[in-house]
Amino acid sequence: MQSGREVDAGAPKRVDARTERWREHRVKVRGQFVDAAFRALDKFGPEVSMGDIAKEAGAAKPKLYRHFEDKTDLYNAIVDRVGDMLWERIVSSADLTNDSARELIRRGAAAYVLVVSEHPNVFRFMLHSHFTRRIDESERALQSARQSAKRAADLFTGLLADESVELTGVELVSYSVFGAVASATDWWLGANRLQVHAMPIEKFVAYLAEIISALADANARLNGIRFHAELPLHRAFSND
C-alpha cells in the first residue's frame, strides 16, 4: 500500500498557464507573419525573400526564424491560410440546400477566381515557390489538396440523398478538380510572369465551371449514376 496521498491516474493534467500563453502568442505571431507574407508577395512578387517578409512585418529576420523552422514551414503556413480562405469564401458564397448543382459550381468557381485575382502573386508563389526546392517539400501543396478534397467530399456526401454515391468517388473527383483548377490557374496567371490575365475573369470562371461539371458528370457515368446539374446538390446524383 502506498503511503500518503494517492494520485488519480485518470485525472486530467493541469495545463501550465505560461505554456498556454506562449502557445497562444506563437500562434498569433505566426499569423501576423503570414499576413506580412501576403503583403510582401503582393508588393514584390513570387520571388519574395524571407528578409522581405520580415521587413514587411516590422521585425528582424531572426524573429521570423524563431517562429518558423525554415522557409518550408512558412510556405506551409501560407498554403494553409489560402486553403482556409478559399473554403470560407466558397462555402459562404452559396446556399448548399437550395442552389442547383450548376449554380453551386458557378458560384464556387467565381469565389475562387476572385481570391486568385486579389492575390495573384500568392498563387504564383504556391505553384512555383523557390521556398520548396526538394521534392518532399513541394509535396506539401499536394498534401493540402488531398486534405481539401477529403473535406469537400465529406461535406458533399453528407448532403446527398442518394447513399449509393461512394465517398471515394467524390473524393477522387474533388482531388481531380483541385489538380485541373491549379493547372488552369497557372496558365491564367502566366506562371511566374507578371502579365495581364490571358483571359477575362468572367470567361475564365465559365471555363472552370465547365471543367468541374464535366469531371462530376464523368464520375457519375462511370458509377452508373446520373448527374442532374439543374437540381439542388442533395438531389443532383441518382440512379434514375
Annotate 102-160 with DSSP letters as a single string: HHHHHHHHHHHHHHHHHSHHHHHHHHS-TT--SHHHHHHHHHHHHHHHHHHHHHHHHH-
Distance CA 21, CA 54 (A): 23
Segment 126-130 mean pLDDT: 80
pLDDT score, position 230 = 92
Intrachain domains 16-68 and 71-238 with the same fold: no
Domain 16-68 has CATH 1.10.3470: no
Segment 148-176 mean pLDDT: 60
Instruction: Give the three cell numbers for residue 160.
Output: 446527398
- Residue ranges of the domains in the chain? 16-68, 71-238
Give the type of residue at 17.
Answer: A
pLDDT category, 17, cuts 50, 70, 90? confident
Structure pTM? 0.76
The angle formed by the CA atoms of residues 61, 64 and 69, to the nearest 5 degrees, is 120
Using an 8 Å Cβ cutoff, are 65 and 195 in contact?
Answer: no
- CATH architecture, domain 71-238: Orthogonal Bundle (1.10)
Of the ranges 91-100, 161-170, 190-199, 208-217, the best mean pLDDT one: 208-217
Using an 8 Å Cβ cutoff, are 181 and 113 in contact?
Answer: no
156 Cβ contact list (under 8 Å, min separation 6): 170, 174, 233
CA dihedral sign of residues 38, 41, 47, 52: negative
